Structure 1
């Protein structure tokens, strides 16, 4: 719902939909944003705008009765059209579980945010190659769009990134890691400002890769860089982010995201709480996305197996933050292939808010019959014992299913589940 408030009523956590007044009455050049920074809030309150229009569905509301006025019925044509569409959709019968209906609605918004993010990130990487600074205001709209998506549905954006393959790896990795950082910050109940910084870290921490001088004979595969050259990306990234004037916490975490709790990481071999909170979070989110979506893009890495692998890597990650990460992502993250007690293979398409071990899955293959079966979306938390997850599907099971392209299969299964 849109509400009109006085600028002095603005507070952190609100989503600004519009600022009333001409462009000369304020210093904000982007139209819609989340108020997640105290300095930005002070500038808004000190501006000459007549009123602020906030969206209470995408951010915090004001106290009861504090709004100047609710938006009048005469909303813009597109908003009226969206309202009619939502009302029509609500009246249509749906076979989808309620949670998956929300997931399906959010995927469209998440994809728009991802497409916008790719354009901004590609520009930032070009600026990095040219040695130019990127200001916080350039990337802030991307973080705010991802933040808003995660607030509406904590799993949709991350699920989309697990399955989406049609974007350059580094750009997708930056968007995915940003969403993971925000989801983790949300689970850890960080402040809006800290979550905003976490999203920035995810978006920018690998920007230094664009600045690594290419060694002789290098073919452009950044993961084939010599170890010494690859390690330099945190140095270049730190300098690039610092040059843009980002907060020190963001700069430091970008520099620390390859440190390990046992001191065996790089570049400083920091250990334990000598690594900043955002740095410890970044180490987990960066490693998870690298392992779940490797550079070769074959789509065979199973997110549920990645979780198990990371838990077994003693000394690498902060155990308390790792537990929060699993709580945020689920025991079986979206995009995971799992084996059911019915000997069927399925893919996780949504999480259960009540039991992370009982997500919603899309069944597609029977190991007992040795063939594909009629697809079925099954909410394991409300199937009354009809089926359950035995564990992650390993590579042998997936090979037995003869999936030609697991990456494409993920997107097809997700689309089929959302279409009902």
Structure 2
């Protein structure tokens, strides 16, 4: 049973079902949680929110004190049922549908499927928002808040699944997919840098929005295969200022428009538009420069060669002066030395695909061999946790895929990663 109460009425032991008001105004990511920490209670009472919805079937009810305002929209409380009966009723009324705001840890295989549906939900929202932009309409923050919350929850459940999914997406909506991917990458990087909840939230929103200016360029992206990377450089550079003007008009936080303006600055001062360098570049912009470059370089387009995340990290690491070294080191730490979707060669003379990460040793992921260099034949799938195979196998380097057709190789990766969601 749900009750809507004021923040001042919140007490320890209550189960918070929903916080009413924009999440820009409070520091909580979780939308459903039990209040069991005094510090969290103080934060909730001080938060700038309209009301708190509690579930009295899962936690304590409100105790009205003299002078308190009565709870709103509460239904009468019936006599309590026996505990076993209550459990049976709850089980019967519990929908089987997955809660996409849940942050309970999930395996890579299970979360990959959830991440696919999360991405599809987000794509629909972002597509609509970008269309409204082309029609000259501004973006209310509430329109994209659910997307950020869904992506954050996915990253919390498994830090690698959503970004792994983005490596096997092959569609013509590159800009939409790029926005979702950068949002997830920014959230992952912000967590690795141990930023505050509010900063993580801003990082996710910035990742979703920093390239919105591309939609406002005086050009039809269809003429360039819907890929803004093919635009002339002098034209593309205009998107930073166009994005700033649009985001400011939409009333989004100043930190978000700042990222739109400076995500193409370089640590050596050779970027644009202000040629800032080093720590003069805002932290979120330094983060965005890395996430933006990684996703663009790691995104396959028909007609190009094989795109490999591990190779992309090596390429970025060699671009000295372009990225903040400390932030880039944190990015590698959260992605892994060999990110999900990387093709590697094993000492057993087999080629394999990285399908999961080891949180304690980023150099020893879980891999799935698919080709024998000795026999020149495909292999039956078997997963190898390199951190727990007692030295029986190990990665000797990135795979040489020059003998394979690029498009067929990318399709193979898509099939192998997609099979994770099916447990295969």
TM-score, normalised to structure 1's length? 0.80
Residue 34 of structure 2 is matched in structure 1 by none
Sort the Cα spacing of 1:215 and 1:168 in 2 relative to 1 into closer, same or farther, 3 A: closer
* Mapped contact 1:361–1:378 kept (Cα < 8 A): yes
Question: 2:377, 2:321 → 1: CA distance?
Answer: 42
Sort the Cα spacing of 1:357 and 1:28 in 2 relative to 1 into closer, same or farther, 3 A: closer
1:349-388 matched pairs, under 5 angstroms: 349-388=355-394
- From 91, 94, 104, the counterpart of 1:79: 94
* Mapped contact 1:304–1:332 kept (Cα < 8 A): yes
Question: 1:104, 1:164 → 2: CA distance?
Answer: 17
- From 137, 143, 152, the counterpart of 2:148: 143
1:35-184 matched pairs, under 5 angstroms: 42-44=47-49, 46-47=50-51, 49=52, 51=54, 68=61, 73=87, 74-75=89-90, 77=92, 79=94, 81=96, 102-166=107-171, 168-184=173-189
Q: Alpha-carbon deviation of 1:40?
A: 12
- From 381, 403, 406, the counterpart of 2:409: 406
Unaligned residue ranges in structure 1 (runs of 5+): 20-25, 56-65, 84-98
Asked if residue 415 in structure 1 is aligned to residue 424 in structure 2, the reply is no
How well do the aligned residues superpose, as a CA RMSD in angstroms?
3.5
* Mapped contact 1:298–1:405 kept (Cα < 8 A): no
Unaligned residue ranges in structure 2 (runs of 5+): 32-42, 63-82, 99-104
Residue 201 of structure 2 is matched in structure 1 by 196
Question: 1:349, 1:40 → 2: CA distance?
Answer: 43
* Mapped contact 2:138–2:250 kept (Cα < 8 A): yes
TM-score, normalised to structure 2's length? 0.79
Q: Alpha-carbon deviation of 1:409?
A: 1.1
Residue 93 of structure 1 is matched in structure 2 by none
Question: 2:191, 2:401 → 1: CA distance?
Answer: 33
* Mapped contact 2:22–2:142 kept (Cα < 8 A): no
Sort the Cα spacing of 1:5 and 1:381 in 2 relative to 1 into closer, same or farther, 3 A: farther
Residue 253 of structure 2 is matched in structure 1 by 247
Question: 1:53, 1:402 → 2: CA distance?
Answer: 59
Question: 2:281, 2:183 → 1: CA distance?
Answer: 19
* Mapped contact 2:186–2:207 kept (Cα < 8 A): yes
* Mapped contact 1:211–1:236 kept (Cα < 8 A): yes
Asked if residue 187 in structure 1 is aligned to residue 202 in structure 2, the reply is no
Residue 61 of structure 1 is matched in structure 2 by none
Q: Alpha-carbon deviation of 1:208?
A: 0.7
Residue 63 of structure 1 is matched in structure 2 by none
Sort the Cα spacing of 1:311 and 1:50 in 2 relative to 1 into closer, same or farther, 3 A: closer
Q: Which one has a bigger Cα radius of gyration? A: 2
